[in-house]
Amino acid sequence: MFTVKSNRNQKYSSGRSAVKEVDLHLRQGHGAVGAMERQLLHFTGELEGAIRRGEGEIIFIHGSGSGRLREEIHRIIAGKYPLCACSDASFSKYGYGGATIVTIGKRGSER
């Protein structure tokens, strides 16, 4: 259902350890009804998996488009994941507003 781009399972190195990239774009023909719900389910599953594995960061590629998916991702993180913080990922790599990097804090630690 989601695109299989060459960077989907690759790691992005930002000068620190490698960071997993998750592409939330849907394959051609799988858009339309319920698209955002499917993308958000995929986002939530990947984020919760990264939290369980103790990853420090994860990048979600959502594209710039209307910005609705980006806004919803930021809203969900702010409301449901108090140990996580998010910001726009590298403009030079993903375009303006094209991806969100989520920093995952550890339980019991200050950020």
* Rounded mean pLDDT for each run of 10 residues along the chain, 111 residues in total: 42 63 83 84 96 96 91 97 95 92 76 41
pLDDT value of position 31:
62
Task: Look up residue 48 and give its two tokens.
Answer: 């919760």
Alpha-carbon distance 24 to 4, whole Å? 10
Task: Look up residue 98 and give its two tokens.
Answer: 């094209």
How many residues are listed for the chain in this entry? Answer: 111
C-alpha distances out from residue 20 to 66, 71, 78, 85, Å: 24, 21, 21, 16
Alpha-carbon distance 32 to 34, whole Å? 6
pLDDT value of position 83:
93
pLDDT value of position 82:
94
pLDDT value of position 43:
97
Q: Is 52 left (phi over 0), alpha (psi -120 to 50) or beta?
A: alpha
pLDDT value of position 7:
41
